[in-house]
Amino acid sequence: MSRRSTAGVIALILAAMTALAMAPFLMPDSYSVVRHSVSESAAQGVDGAWLARLGFVLFGFAVLSLAVGHGSRWDGTGRLAHAGFGVSMIAAAVFSHGPWDGSTFDEFEDLLHSTASFGVGLFFTVGLVLVAVRRTDPPGWLRAVDAVALVAALVIPLVMANISAPGLVQRVMFIVAFVWYGLETMRASGDDVGGGATLSTDAAQVDRNN
């Protein structure tokens, strides 16, 4: 990825983080970041839900852009899985969760949102594994990041229904995903920077030999 593309993806990720962090401030007083999910801040019929939906869309487009332009670090299956994450995230914005306050809502749309949310989790987990196993001699810190992200992706969905703070725990999962994709974006930029430096060095060596 070029530096300009990298900056664009990072900007989208930061904008998505900001939108989702600020969305609860637009919610009614009955909304709780501890008890209610991120999706419920984008729920049907809720004033201010547009901001969380925008956050989903921005994050989805960020990951789609990364999947398209990541270059050699991700193989085709990894890029396809993360593209699936991006599409699912956008679908989660198009189809909204039912409101938490018991108001009337479209149950079919809620089902479509749940399906999209399932896709987000599935594609992230599968894509993470596909990328991690393909890494060639990664540094220890990167192995640790992959391990933390994988544990979070597997454990958090399982415990959310059985704890008193599902919204808070889900937000931890979003933070993990933001960090993981942000780091992958920076590493994608390194592909071009490193590759360019190598090509320049090789060219200089050829000139000296001639």
Quote the percentage of the chain above a pLDDT of 70: 89
User: In this structure, what token pair is assigned to residue 43?
Assistant: 């729920």
pLDDT tens sequence across 9-34? 999 999 999 999 999 999 999 999 99
Q: What is the pLDDT of residue 200?
A: 37
Strand, coil or helix: what is 86?
helix
User: What gap in Å lies between CA 89 and CA 68, rounded to an integer?
Assistant: 16
Q: What is the pLDDT of residue 108?
A: 97
Given phi > 0 = left and psi -120 to 50 = alpha, else beta, which region is 106? beta
Q: What is the pLDDT of residue 159?
A: 87
Phi/psi of residue 95, each to 5°?
-110, 120
Q: What is the pLDDT of residue 207?
A: 47
Name the DSSP class of 43. -
Q: Is residue 201 pLDDT above 50, yes or no? A: no
42 closest CA partner among 1, 115, 91, 108: 91
Q: What is the pLDDT of residue 190?
A: 60
The set of residues, in sequence order, having a beta carbon less than 8 Å from that of 172 and lying 6+ positions away, is 152, 156
Q: Position of tokens 């949310």? A: 117
Instruction: Indicate the fold that domain 3-191 takes in CATH.
Output: Rhopdopsin 7-helix transmembrane proteins (1.20.1070)
What is the pLDDT confidence band of residue 206, given thresholds at 50, 70 and 90?
very low
User: In this structure, what token pair is assigned to residue 30?
Assistant: 């009955």
User: What gap in Å lies between CA 17 and CA 28, rounded to an integer?
Assistant: 21
User: What gap in Å lies between CA 116 and CA 187, rounded to an integer?
Assistant: 28
Q: What is the pLDDT of residue 161?
A: 77
DSSP secondary structure of 127-188: HHHHHHHH-SS--HHHHHHHHHHHHHHHHHHHHGGGSS-HHHHHHHHHHHHHHHHHHHHHHH
Q: What is the pLDDT of residue 22?
A: 97
Which helix (H) or strand (E) is 89 found in, with range?
Answer: helix 76-94
pLDDT tens sequence across 90-118? 999 999 999 998 889 999 999 999 999 99
pLDDT tens sequence across 54-87? 999 999 999 999 998 876 678 899 999 999 999 9
In the chain, what are the domain boundaries?
3-191
Q: What is the pLDDT of residue 1?
A: 76
In the 3-class helix/strand/coil scheme, how is 90-142 assigned residue by residue?
Answer: HHHHHCCCCCCCCCCCCHHHHHHHHHHHHHHHHHHHHHHHHHHHHCCCCCHHH
